[in-house]
Structure 1
Amino acid sequence: MLLEIWSDVACPFCFVGKRNLEAALAQFEHADQVEVRWRSFQLAPDAPLTTQATSTEYLARKYGRSLEEAGQMQERMVAMAAEAGIEMHPDRVRMTNTRDAHRLLQLAHESGRQDALKEAFLQAYHADGEHLGDPATLRRLAVDAGLPPERVDAVLGSDEFATAVDADIEQAVEFGLQGVPAFVLDRRMGLTGAQPPEVLLQGLRTAHERAGASASG
Structure 2
Amino acid sequence: MRIDIWSDIACPWCYIGKRRLESAVEGFAHRDDVEVVWHSFELDPGAPVPPTEKTSVHLARKYGGGPGQIAEMTRRVAETAQAQGLDYRLDDTMHVATRDAHRLLHLALESGGAAQQGALKERLLEDYFVRALDVSDHAVLRAAATEVGLAEAEVDRVLTTQAYHREVSADIEQARAYGANGVPFFVVDGRYGISGAQPIEVFAGALQQAWAESHPQLTTIAGGADAEACGPDGCEVPQRP
Task: Give yes or no for TM over 0.5.
Answer: yes
Residues paired across the two proteins, number? 214
Between the aligned partners of 2:24 and 2:180, the Cα distance in structure 1 is 22
Between the aligned partners of 1:50 and 1:74, the Cα distance in structure 2 is 23
Q: Which residue of 2 aligns with 1:58?
A: 58
Residue 180 (structure 2) pairs with residue 192 (structure 1): no
Offset at residue 44 of structure 1 (A): 0.4
Which region of structure 1 is more displaced relative to structure 2, 62-71 or 117-126? 62-71
What stretches of structure 1 move > 4 A for 4+ residues in a row?
A: none
Offset at residue 213 of structure 1 (A): 4.1
Task: Report the residue type matching 1:54 in the other structure.
Answer: K
Between the aligned partners of 1:26 and 1:13, the Cα distance in structure 2 is 20
Q: Which residue of 2 aligns with 1:209?
A: 212
Q: Which residue of 1 aligns with 2:223?
A: none
Q: Which residue of 1 aligns with 2:126?
A: 123
Q: State whether residues 3 and 189 of structure 2, in contact with CA within 8 Å, keep that contact through their aligned partners in structure 1.
A: yes
Pairwise mapping of residues 61-210 of structure 1 onto structure 2 (< 5 A)? Answer: 61-110=61-110, 111-112=112-113, 113-210=116-213
Q: State whether residues 142 and 155 of structure 2, in contact with CA within 8 Å, keep that contact through their aligned partners in structure 1.
A: yes
Between the aligned partners of 1:199 and 1:65, the Cα distance in structure 2 is 33
- Where structure 1 has 5 or more consecutive residues not aligned to the other structure, the ranges are none
CA deviations over 1:45-80 (Å, ceiling 9, x no partner): 111112332111122223222221111111000000
Offset at residue 212 of structure 1 (A): 2.2
Between the aligned partners of 2:213 and 2:89, the Cα distance in structure 1 is 40
Helix, strand or coil at the partner of 1:49? coil
Offset at residue 145 of structure 1 (A): 1.4
Offset at residue 30 of structure 1 (A): 1.0
Task: Report the residue type matching 2:91 in the other structure.
Answer: D
Q: TM-score, normalised by structure 1?
A: 0.95
Identity of counterpart residues, as a percentage?
A: 43
CA deviations over 1:2-32 (Å, ceiling 9, x no partner): 1000000100000111111111111011111
Q: State whether residues 92 and 127 of structure 1, in contact with CA within 8 Å, keep that contact through their aligned partners in structure 2.
A: no
Between the aligned partners of 1:209 and 1:128, the Cα distance in structure 2 is 40
Helix, strand or coil at the partner of 2:91? helix
Between the aligned partners of 1:65 and 1:212, the Cα distance in structure 2 is 51
Helix, strand or coil at the partner of 1:37? strand
Between the aligned partners of 2:62 and 2:176, the Cα distance in structure 1 is 20
Residue 21 (structure 2) pairs with residue 18 (structure 1): no
Offset at residue 98 of structure 1 (A): 0.1
Offset at residue 41 of structure 1 (A): 0.3
